[in-house]
Structure 1
Amino acid sequence: MASYEEVKDVPNQPSTYLVDVRNKTELAETGVLPASINIPLPDLEKAFNLPDKDFEKTYGRAKPPIDAVLIFSCKAGGRAARAANLAKTLGFVNAKAYAGSWTEWEQKQAQ
């Protein structure tokens, strides 16, 4: 599991990928996590199977290498956990969920 502190430090870790798996309407309602890329959960497997240049064109960032640290976030942690498990089945060995996800992020940012 990824912690709030780890997620907060993602902008300083260029090799870490923060993937928000919420859909675009949720992002419009709440906002986005800094340095995150949005790949809705239903699109995740297809996205990680894209050729490198297509991934970068679609998501604005180089496709993560198989050993990249991948942190998944959603609204409350459920979809993030499913996304991390899916990424692991695709061979990404350093995939983990941010259990608190947007709910914890928003709460801690307000403090």
Structure 2
Amino acid sequence: MASSVTKDISYEDLKALLGKSQNLLVVDVRTKEEVDKGQIQGSVHIPVDTVEAAFAMAPEEFKAKFGVTKPQQDAPELVFHCQMGRRGLNATNKAHQLGYVNARNYAGGYKEWSEKEGK
């Protein structure tokens, strides 16, 4: 069995990063309808089917479209999430294929986040 390079991040670790990191980019890959019902504060909405194209954009184009600086390929704090983990994992894998070696998936997704945050 091949070992997966994808790393997951826990609720506790993500919460700690949100509190202290200036460089963290949390990417919400859910649908617009899902995001409209609530999102992790500070996350950027890039639907899962557009992740590959988004992270292949030139930095200026990425910033113009999403309002945030495009992360470097070796950025240590790049986290993808969806509702329950599967689409986030797909997006994380796509990011790895594009050279984002430290990209991680918040496997608990927004479902766990909203439960723990009492939303």
Q: Normalising TM by the smaller chain, what interval?
A: over 0.9
Identity %: 38
Is 1:40 aligned with 2:47?
Answer: yes
SS in 2 for 1:19: strand
Is 1:82 aligned with 2:82?
Answer: no
Residue 4 of structure 1, aligned match among 5, 11, 16: 11
Residue 104 of structure 1, aligned match among 89, 103, 112: 112
1:93 maps to which residue?
101
1:60 maps to which residue?
67
- Extract structure 1 runs of 4+ deviating beyond 4 A: none
Query: How many pairs are equivalent?
Result: 110
- CA distance, structure 2, for counterparts of residue 35 and residue 11 of structure 1: 11
Is 1:25 aligned with 2:33?
Answer: yes
The CA RMSD measured in Å over matched residues stands at 1.3
AA aligned opposite 2:22: P
- CA distance, structure 1, for counterparts of residue 69 and residue 11 of structure 2: 24
Cα pair 1:80 1:97 within 8 Å, conserved:
yes
Ranges in structure 2 where 5+ consecutive residues have no aligned partner: 1-7
2:57 maps to which residue?
50
Report the TM-score, using the length of structure 1 for normalisation: 0.93
